[in-house]
Amino acid sequence: MPADGGIGAPNKRREDVRFLTGKGKYTDDLNRPGQAHVIFVRSQVAHGNLTAVNTDEAAAMPGVIRIFTGADFAEVGGLPCGWQVTDRHGEPMQEPAHPVLAQGKVRHVGDAIAAVVAETADQARDAAEAVEVEIDELPAVVDMKAALAADAPKVHDDLSSNLCYDWGFVEENKAAVEEAFANAAHVTTLELVNNRLIANPMEPRVAIGDYDAAGGDSTLYTTSQNPHVIRLLMGAFVLGIPEHKLRVVAPDVGGGFGSKIFHYAEEAFCTFAAKALERPVKWTSTRSEAFITDAHGRDHVTTIQLALDADNNFTAIRTDTHANMGAYLSTFAPSVPTWLHGTLMAGNYRTPLIYVNVKAVFTNTVPVDAYRGAGRPEATFQLERVIDKAARELGVDPIALRRQNFITEFPYATPVAVEYDTGNYVATMDKLEEIADLAGFDARRAESAAKGKLRGLGVNCYIEACGIAPSNLVGQLGARAGLYESATVRVNATGGLVVMTGSHSHGQGHETAFPQVVADMIGIDPSMVEIVHGDTANTPMGMGTYGSRSLAVGGSAMVRATEKIIAKAKKIAAHLMEAAEGDIELKDGQFSVAGTDKSVAWGDVTLAAYVPHNYPLEDIEPGLEETAFYDPANFTYPAGAYACEVEVDPDTGKVTIERFSAADDFGNIVNPMIVDGQVHGGLGQGIGQALLEHAVYDEDGQLLSGSYMDYAMPRADDVPFYTVDHSCQTPCTHNPLGVKGCGEAGAIGSPPAVVNAVVDALRSAGHDVTHIDMPLSPHRVWQAMQA
Amino acid sequence: MYEFDIEKPSTIDEAVAALASDEAQALGGGQTLIPTLKQRLAAPGVLVSLGGIDALKGIRPEGDTLVIGAGTCHADVAADGTIPALSALAAGIGDPAVRNRGTIGGSLANNDPSACYPAGVLGLGATVVTNQREIGAGDFFTGLFETALEDGEIITAVKLPRPEAAAYVKFEQPASRFALVGVFVSRTGTEVRVAVTGASEDGVFRWTEAEAALSANFAPDALDGMSPDGDMISDIHGSAEYRAHLVAVLTKRAVAAC
């Protein structure tokens, strides 16, 4: 029984029953008795001094309860930033205030100026239109390099400039890197843009604040990937509510992709207003609002250089990136272009010297923060693109150049501070060449040519660092949080289990995969295990879900807690069978005494724990419930090799993806079907970035791609049927499951494959193209062919 | 959405009467108007739904002409097949939900510069029939979102002559999947019509130079080296130069498909 449903089984996702039948319980499905609604008055200009907010007329309109302005928040804390980066000179980053409602100035289109609370959302919307806002418009800074000019308008008047930080990594390597470049036999240089994206989860953000005046308890229902983190940040830094008087609930969440990690002003507002009004206050983002308030992703402008010796060995990498922070520092924004990006610049290759410079820049745009992959896609894209370019310049096969420089011995300490525990990049590339049928490419290219299409092949590798940890290390790097995970395993008298996890599921399939782990350890059916998550009132303090960490870190916490359960259960079983504890074995849900035919069932032991009539009460307590916190010793390092084949229409520039193959090494696999799905989703997002998605601002700071009419999301017919393989498995050496994480891989590894393929296609037709910036829209590809 | 009243007349006369109010706005399938209302970008006091008027619905042949009621949805035109190029055009609009709600009359009255139907109607040399008169397609479309319709004038049907050959080729804008450029080509005898949507700052237009060249030689290579004059749209999805290029490419493809 357990072998079919435990670790390694492709169990169907139990949560899909409610998701696919419309029975999910999302935050907007919740309504509290007496609930009021808030609509925010938002800036329609990117930059300006707020000279007046007149609410008199609006306040008199039907249903209006109260209108809040910046003045109401003058004494309230701003939104905190959860990561402090230290610059190359040892100075802390510039960290501007981030008010809940604008204080004297608006800094991006969408910045909240006032909040109208009314009996109904429509009444609030009507009144919000009647709020009179006077703004002295200032010139906007949108372009990052222009923002750093000495005479550029400042986004924050109290900061010395628009430079958040100038980060060098590893600063001590800088001189040696320069020397390596001076001595290089060949240097390849590539300038590129990692395009700004908007996460666009299917469920827009929602927040409901609730306040129980009798007990003085606040509750926030919110669309969050990490409710405990929101409780800590909002309670401690914004509203001054101790954690025992604040509950944060994140029920079913319809996708996050990073954008729901962060603490947003609307959450703080609803919690604050509910207490002020002693009424529940609900906010539901419109899709239009999501475009101008959800944190955006990526938006790096980079120059990367690769130095090679005469034998084509990589000798050094130097990269120079401008990273857009937007108008304020979102919760984890400073970490993304630094520690989640610079530490990955070695990729899968032996490059002895690396220097990464990142200038983080404030602009009059929506804040930018982690988005599926967060820093690692940016690192992978530039590295894999510059290697491809180098191969072409040197006239060598791009796969061979990669293979020649692969890291082959593990553990491997990179020159950028991380140590890869395991991997086998040769094996994943071998697997890729097989599943992608690279040998058949020439024939397929000829078939495309017969149709008048240009076929191209792009191949690349990726590595990522998942399961971000350990806490003491990230603390040294500037994180203002720990990065452990927690689990409480509660066994009921009749043998079923409830596992309360600090991880949060918003599409990842935790409710299916986690029970497989626990059930496998005990030898029972996964249906006996229920997962509870998303409510600070009934789960242990956890850090939430992002960075492909839930199984590696949260799953490991579950293993540790279950180990404690089994240890205690064995003591009970030993008592019941009058045997020595050391002789007790647990298999297939049966405790037995080694070498005998004595056994008791799992359910007998759990019943004894709660009905302790025949029980060693003098030695152990009744009950069967254990908690564990797990803080990993290192990141995990999933890696893989991807191949993309495209057809380009030479007349229009239209790119279609004909084949896409992914060979990933995720270590051990708990549920291969869920892993397939995670890879498919990641590939879809990566292909979306490569071909379609682009958040475009004009020079005045207006978002031109502010709706689905202009922001192109990938659709089913934009992506091919994927060939996905994860049979290459080098288990993680430092977590008990040997798992590495799979959630972001597809989004990290696929953009360079697509661009490599399109460049290859154009070059096959004689176009002297070395790079096209994403998204590779038909227009851009056509332009590249005209050059 | 602001509050509004809705009326659902069952005859054209009732509709015309209801539209007499300054605050009234006709509602066809609502595929443009409803999203506009939801974003509070329009505030009509009264919506006059034309969806209950049976006289506006249906497709019927009249000799060599196909008459499509203005209230006929795209899905019905797609399924008709009498003029295959027009049915293919309708089948390519939006998604199934849009095609089952949106109507040909609504699309023509809105005259979105990226909509498909204006190219089909102009490219077939159709006649737009209203409750007051008949308007040739060439006179009907007068600019971006502008038509010859007067206040209180309702499109009741479109009369489309059946061509000997026709084809519509659309190149989709990646986000909206409206036409970044769409070209409808028809030929009857030596008369060739080339109608282009999505490309021009002036809305749908006939590319008369191409028509002349194709009248002499109805083959793709008759257009070699040609591209349309006039101000093309330039936006984040494509420059004016790119759109002009696409017009030529798509026209050739449409000719080849005829």
Residue B28 maps to which CATH number?
3.30.43.10
Average pLDDT over residues B115-132: 98
Averaged over B169-191, what is the pLDDT?
97
Single residue among B161, B193, B228 that ends a domain in this structure: B161
Q: Which residue of B has its CA nearest to A784?
A: B242
Residue A690 DSSP SS3: helix
Q: How far apart are CA A380 and CA A398, in angstroms?
A: 15
Task: Please check whether residues B226 and B208 belong to one and the same domain.
Answer: yes
Q: Which two tokens stand for residue B174?
A: 């990646």
B61, B126: one domain? yes
Tokens at residue A322, please? 């401008």
CA distances from A422 to A161, A259, A432, A728 (A): 43, 30, 19, 12
What are B's interface residues with A at a Cβ cutoff of 8 A?
A: 1, 39-40, 171, 174-176, 178, 180, 236-239, 242, 245-246, 249
Picking from A288, A709, A782, the nearest residue to B175 by CB comes out as A709
Measured between beta carbons, which residues in chain A are less than 8 angstroms from residue B242? 779, 782-783
Please tell me which of the candidates A288, A652, A694 has its beta carbon nearest to residue B246. Answer: A652
What is the Cα–Cα distance from A550 to B101, expressed in whole angstroms?
44
Distance CA A388, CA A393 (A): 9
Beta bridge partners of A49: A105, A136
**Claim to verify: residue B174 and residue B236 sit in the same structural domain:** yes
Decide if A500 contacts A487 (C-beta within 8 A): yes
How close B236 gets to chain A, by Cα (Å)? 8
Tokens of A411: 């553990």
A535 DSSP 8-state letter: B
- State the amino acid at position A720 in one-letter form: P
Q: Are residues B67 and B42 in the same domain?
A: no
Alpha carbons B195 and B250: distance in angstroms, whole number = 11
The answer to whether A40 touches A283, Cβ cutoff 8 Å, is yes
Evaluate whether A634 touches A421 at the Cβ level (below 8 Å): yes
What whole-number distance in Å separates Cα of residue A316 and Cα of residue A298? 25
- The set of long-range contacts for A712-717, using a CB threshold of 8 Å and a minimum separation of 24, is A712/A688, A712/A775, A712/B174, A712/B175, A713/A200, A713/A688, A713/B175, A714/A684, A714/A685, A714/A687, A714/A688
- Please state the three-class secondary structure of chain B as a single string: CCCCEEECCCCHHHHHHHCCCCCEEEECCCCCHHHHHHCCCCCCCEEEECCCCHHHCCEEEECCEEEEECCCEHHHHHHHCCCHHHHHHHHCCCCHHHHHHCEHHHHHHHCCCCCCHHHHHHHCCCEEEECCCEEEHHHHEEECCEECCCCCCCEEEEEEECCCEEEEEEEECCCCCCEEEEEEEEEECCEEEEEEECCECCCCEECHHHHHHHHHCCCHHHHCCCCCCCCECCECCECHHHHHHHHHHHHHHHHHHC
Residue B141 and residue B155 in one domain: yes
Cα distance from B165 to chain A (closest Cα, Å)? 24
Which residues in chain B have their CB less than 8 angstroms from residue A654's CB? 171
- In 3D, which of A209, A256, A200, A267 has the Cα closest to residue A233? A267
Closest alpha carbon to A422 in A383, A463, A388, A451: A463
Distance CA A709, CA A698 (A): 16
Residue A183, φ and ψ in degrees, nearest 5: -95, 5
Q: Would you say A655 and A691 are in contact if contact means Cβ atoms under 8 Å apart?
A: yes
CB–CB contact B171 A654 (8 Å): yes
Which segments of A43-84 are extended strands (E)? Answer: 48-54, 64-69
The span from the CA of A85 to the CA of A92, in Å, is 6
Which distant-in-sequence residues (6+ apart) come within 8 Å of A630 by Cβ? A484, A485, A486, A487, A553, A554, A556, A557, A559, A560, A735
Q: Shortest CB distance from B242 goes to which of A710, A711, A782?
A: A782
Describe the strand order of the beta sheet including A584-587 as a list of residue ranges. Answer: A584-587, A590-593, A599-601
Lookup: tokens for B8: 């659902």
Q: Which residues of B touch A712 (CB under 8 A)?
A: 174-175
Neighbour count for residue B34 (Cβ, 10 Å) = 15
The span from the CA of A530 to the CA of A42, in Å, is: 42
Do B97 and B135 fall into the same domain? yes
Question: Could B249 and A705 be called an inter-chain contact, meaning their C-beta atoms sit closer than 8 Å?
Answer: no
Query: A512 near A671, Cβ under 8 Å?
Result: yes
Name the pairing type of β-strands A639-648 and B24-27: unpaired
CATH number, residue B84: 3.30.465.10
Task: Out of B116, B141, B161, pick the residue that ends a domain.
Answer: B161
Tokens representing B24?
Answer: 């009234």
Give yes or no: residues B21 and B61 share one domain: no
Distance from C-alpha of A281 to C-alpha of A434, rounded to nearest angstrom: 57
pLDDT value of residue A3: 52
Structural domain total, chain B? 3
Q: Using alpha carbons, list the distances in angstroms from residue A8 to A512, A670, A673.
A: 12, 5, 9
| B105 plus B145 within the same structural domain | yes
User: Final residue of a domain: which of B112, B133, B161?
Assistant: B161
Question: Which of A421, A416, A411, A423 has the alpha carbon at shortest distance from A339?
Answer: A416
B127, pLDDT greater than 60: yes
Both B37 and B99 in one domain: the answer is: no
Question: CB neighbours (10 Å) of residue A139?
Answer: 14
Quote the CA–CA distance of B128 and B156 in Å, as a whole number: 8
Rounded Cα gap, residues A188 and A186, in angstroms: 7
Tokens 């290759």, located at residue: A349
Question: Kind and range of the H or E element at A413?
Answer: strand A412-413
- The helix (H) or strand (E) run that includes residue A42 is strand A36-42
Alpha-carbon span A228 to A478, nearest angstrom: 19
Q: Do B174 and A692 touch (CB under 8 A)?
A: yes
- Looking at residue B229, which CATH number applies to its domain? 3.30.390.50
> If you count residue pairs, one on A and one on B, with CB atoms under 8 Å apart, how many are there?
45
Same domain, B68 and B141: yes
Q: Which domain covers residue B196, as residue numbers?
A: 165-257
B113: preceding bond cis by omega (within 30 degrees): no
User: If chain A, 787 residues long, is cut into consecutive pieces of 10 residues, what is the mean pLDDT of each piece?
Assistant: 76 96 96 98 98 98 98 94 95 97 98 98 97 98 97 97 97 96 98 98 98 97 96 95 97 96 98 98 97 98 98 98 98 97 97 98 98 97 98 98 98 95 98 97 98 98 90 87 93 97 93 97 96 96 90 96 98 97 96 96 97 94 97 95 98 98 98 97 98 98 97 97 97 96 96 98 97 98 96
Prediction ipTM score = 0.96
DSSP annotation of A568 reads H
Are B92 and B127 contained in the same domain? yes
Domains recognised in chain A with CATH numbers: 2-23+484-630 (3.30.365.10), 31-138+205-284 (3.90.1170.50), 296-469+634-786 (3.30.365.10)
Same domain, B121 and B31: no
CA–CA distance, B50 with B105 (Å, rounded to integer): 10
Q: Which pLDDT score, from 0 to 100, does residue A482 have? A: 87
> Are the C-beta atoms of A170 and A351 separated by less than 8 Å?
no
Chain B CB contacts of A713 under 8 Å are 175
A778 and B238 within 8 Å at the Cβ level: the answer is yes
Name the minimum distance, in Å, from the CA of A113 to any CA of chain B: 20
For chain A, helix (H) and strand (E) counts, in that order, are 20, 30
> What does the pLDDT read at residue A481?
85
- Strands in B46-49's sheet, in edge-to-edge order, are B5-7, B46-49, B24-27
| Gap from B237 CA to chain A (nearest CA, Å) | 7
Distances (CA, A) of B32 to A268, A286, B77, B176: 36, 18, 19, 12
Whose tokens are 């990526």? That residue is A298
Rounded Cα distance between B157 and B66, Å, is 10
Q: What percent of chain B has pLDDT over 70?
A: 100
- Which residues does A397 contact at the CB level (< 8 Å), separation at least 6? A391
CA-to-CA distance for B15 and B154, rounded, in angstroms?
A: 9
| Exposure class string for A536-550: b at 16+ Cβ within 10 A, else e | beebbbbbbbbbbbb
Residue A98, CB half-sphere, CA atoms under 13 Å: how many? 25
Give me the pLDDT at residue A620, please: 94
* Distance between A269 CA and the closest CA of chain B, angstroms: 24
Neighbours of A585 (CB within 10 A): 13
> What is the pTM for the complete model shown?
0.97
